[in-house]
Structure 1
Amino acid sequence: MTVSSSPAPGPFRNATKPSQRRLSPDLARGFMLLLIAMAYAPMHLEHKNVGGYGQKPGGGVADQVMSFLATLFLENRAFPLFGIMFGAGLVMLVSRQLKAGTPERDVRRLLRRRSLWLLLFGFVHATLVFSGEILAAYGVGGLVLAWLLFRGMTAVRVAAIVLCVYYGVVVTLAAGAIVTGAAASAEKASGLPGYTSVQDWIERLAAAPFAPLLNTLLFPMFLLVVLGIWFGKRGLLDDPAAHRRTLRWLAGCGISVSVLGALPLALVGAGVLDVSGSTHGLLFAAQILTGVAGGVGYAAAFGLLGARLQRRPGPVTRTLAAAGQRSLSVYLFASVGVAVILHPALLNLGAHTHRAGAMAVAFGVWLVAVLLAGRLAAAGRPGPADALLRGLVYRGSRR
């Protein structure tokens, strides 16, 4: 074994004990996982015109209603909530380590190692299950933005302003191409590769690296992580009771802007508005960009809810929070479960249902995952994927 002359890693403090956790972030993560599962599910359908993202849906009335509601409240709103919670979680991790006496250099090393492992987890998930996954993108986010965790609020605000300008320009310019691609994909069945041929696996391996690039460069992921860092540094979710006024304002304004920004695109998808391709692209850009406000609003709303339930959480609240505490395991369970049930090369239920059915499947899989998380919590056990990641990140360190 090679002996390094580098200083040994510091005595990292491991994950927060359940009794020390705040309810609001865990509730938000638990609910967020449902939104993500519902966003993934229609991607596996073996149908044309599944709707969503401003495309006119086929199917029955229930499918058309779900497509309209998804554009308003779900699409480009689930991932923003994930990004904000990810950024806020990084702040909590760094704060916990520094308070435990871990040197800053070692905390930076810990963040880098965690981000690299997330990248690997994401690559495996993208290859085996779904190329549009988000773990790898947040691994990139952790590598690129970790320096902000050790800077003051001025640096965070400047980064947010710069990223607002960048994404405002890039998303608007790219929206036309995105709409064209969405329209083309609406005219064919699921474009996800299968599992049975060499060509399938070549396509899976080739697609895996592109998801983090698209999610970071063409979707406002970096901005969302920075906003999450702002949430964390302000302590909005760590002590929501002390920030009720701010959280109410963020929840009300954020969700209102999100719904108003998505409404024109939802009306296009419902056939109420008939617009040209360029106008459709601008409306799609508005739906994406106002999704940032939606993520902020959802996070703030769960901050308020957690503040109300913190003292006396009931069994439903505790179970949902248990899922949030095991978010990596629940995320992967839901993604794999939805794929197994709906994918054309697997159980292929997607050939016999449409958008509403796919979202019902996602809800059912998420519910099973939440109940399993509750059982793990009752037994005092972590989620298996969370435990694996934690073991890899903290390996070789005193905890």
Structure 2
Amino acid sequence: MTQTPVSTHGVPDTANRPLAPDRRSLAPDLARGIMLLVIALAHTHLFTVFIGGTETTPSVLDRIATAGTVMFVDLRAYPMFAALFGYGLAQIHRRRTEQGREWRWTRALLRRRGFWLVVLGLAHGVLLFPGDILAVYGAVSLLLVGVLRFRDRTLVIMALAWLPLAATAHALVAAEGAVSGLGFPLMPDGLVNEFLFRVTVYPVLIVMMFLSTVVPFLIGVLAARHRVLEKPHEHLRLLRTTALVGVPVAVLGAIPFALTKTGVWTDPTALDMLLVAPLHQVTGYVGGMGYAALIALVAVRTNHSRGRVTVALSALGQRSMTFYLAQSVVWAVLFSSYTLHVQLTSPAVGVGVAVAVWATTVVLADLMRRRGQRGPAETVLRRLTYGPSS
């Protein structure tokens, strides 16, 4: 008779293996796959600033692309990604608890995972793209893992208490930019100069992103506790309300900021930005949750009859870390001065580049699914977290 291998803690070793694709919930994977498009749009828009600024006389398409990015992408996609990270962390905690693991063991596991996220993220941010989010997520795992055991009410209070801090930080940065007239620094040419640029910019960005991550992270933990995305059919009223309110609020709240970015509102004062930036930030949180709810509603409709597009998008979501890093490799090849050095000064062209790169990753992820291949980055992180037998 064959026996199932058992670890020293009395839990089958198979419990440490990743869930089979057919046992995974559709909504979180679908959300991650779609949000990688929005992340790509945000990154290419940044490169129009980093590489040489926008054109002195932007075209109508460029203005539309900039306005669309501000209203639908900027500080709207990231909160959803952060919420999905919190959701995933809470899922790991719940599964390990159901398997009989003690909190001390699970806490050590999640902190080990967070440590390696910090290591991988620092390498990513310094070598490829300074807007890295992996190290931020790792830091959140290390510092806030204890919230996984907090009561729902405590999570809500923490989120409400943190919200003014994040909004104030963005308001001060925006106000300082209005006073000084300075925007993002331009990326210099040369291998060493670009490296030093990333090293200089990265610490500032990572602090701002950490401040922006805590609130959606806590919301994600709360949502996972009630399995909102795993069992969306049980939360249809909540999801519909969140989608119908969240997305329009995010768009409306971004209009003042979009007017400044497109040049329609010229010369906003520091006081103006102290009001506009927090509005943009807070409504972005609402919009991120609206996006997640909207995708969950789509998942409800397609869960039992998944078409090829849905399957491919969920395959991308299952390998989101791999293709998030792959995007940065593409950016390095396209935009670095020591590679192709593409001069991306048109936001409209940036949109086309982002869509093309994302569509390519969808195809590649689906090919990996067909071959039964997991994402290399996910495999590395899992082995560093659980050990070589995972």
Q: With structure 1 as the length reference, what TM-score do the two structures score?
A: 0.88
Shift of the 303–392 alpha-carbon distance from structure 1 to 2, 3 Å rule, reads same
The residue matched to 1:321 in structure 2 has which SS?
A: helix
Cα separation, 2, equivalents of 1:300 and 1:271: 33
> Match of 1:384, as an amino acid?
P
> Match of 1:344, as an amino acid?
S
Give the deviation of 1:232 after TM superposition. Answer: 0.9
The residue matched to 1:201 in structure 2 has which SS?
A: helix
Shift of the 311–126 alpha-carbon distance from structure 1 to 2, 3 Å rule, reads same
* Aligned ranges 1:282-321 → 2 under 5 Å: 282-321=275-314
- Given the alignment of the two structures, is residue 280 of structure 1 paired with residue 283 of structure 2, yes or no? no
Cα separation, 1, equivalents of 2:167 and 2:195: 36
- Given the alignment of the two structures, is residue 127 of structure 1 paired with residue 126 of structure 2, yes or no? yes
Task: State the match for 1:184 in structure 2.
Answer: 182
Give the deviation of 1:308 after TM superposition. Answer: 1.0
Deviations 1:76-128 (A, max 9, x none): 11111111111111111111122122222111111001111111111011111
Q: Is the 8 A contact 1:247 1:301 kept in 2?
A: yes
- Given the alignment of the two structures, is residue 254 of structure 1 paired with residue 254 of structure 2, yes or no? no
> Match of 1:47, as an amino acid?
G
> Match of 1:48, as an amino acid?
G
Task: State the match for 1:344 in structure 2.
Answer: 337
> Match of 2:183, as an amino acid?
S
Cα separation, 1, equivalents of 2:294 and 2:253: 19
Give the deviation of 1:167 after TM superposition. Answer: 2.6
Give the deviation of 1:231 after TM superposition. Answer: 1.3
Unaligned runs of 5+ in 2: 1-7
Give the deviation of 1:205 after TM superposition. Answer: 3.5
Task: State the match for 1:92 in structure 2.
Answer: 91
Between 1:93-102 and 1:370-379, the stretch displaced more is 93-102
Q: Is the 8 A contact 1:68 1:269 kept in 2?
A: yes
Between 1:282-291 and 1:313-322, the stretch displaced more is 282-291
Deviations 1:8-36 (A, max 9, x none): 89756232210111111111100111111
> Match of 1:390, as an amino acid?
R
- Given the alignment of the two structures, is residue 330 of structure 1 paired with residue 333 of structure 2, yes or no? no
Deviations 1:26-69 (A, max 9, x none): 1110011111111111333333236xxxxxx7432211110011
Cα separation, 1, equivalents of 2:142 and 2:330: 30
Cα separation, 2, equivalents of 1:93 and 1:20: 14
Task: State the match for 2:59 in structure 1.
Answer: 60
Give the deviation of 1:239 after TM superposition. Answer: 0.4
Task: State the match for 1:24 in structure 2.
Answer: 27
Q: Is the 8 A contact 2:112 2:385 kept in 1?
A: yes
- Given the alignment of the two structures, is residue 212 of structure 1 paired with residue 210 of structure 2, yes or no? no
Task: State the match for 1:74 in structure 2.
Answer: 73
Cα separation, 1, equivalents of 2:254 and 2:315: 31
Paired residues in the alignment total 378
Q: Is the 8 A contact 1:264 1:283 kept in 2?
A: yes
The residue matched to 2:136 in structure 1 has which SS?
A: helix
Task: State the match for 1:224 in structure 2.
Answer: 216
Shift of the 146–206 alpha-carbon distance from structure 1 to 2, 3 Å rule, reads same
Give the deviation of 1:170 after TM superposition. Answer: 3.6
Q: With structure 2 as the length reference, what TM-score do the two structures score?
A: 0.90
Q: 1:34 aligns with which of 33, 37, 49?
A: 37
Shift of the 361–294 alpha-carbon distance from structure 1 to 2, 3 Å rule, reads same
Between 1:10-19 and 1:319-328, the stretch displaced more is 10-19
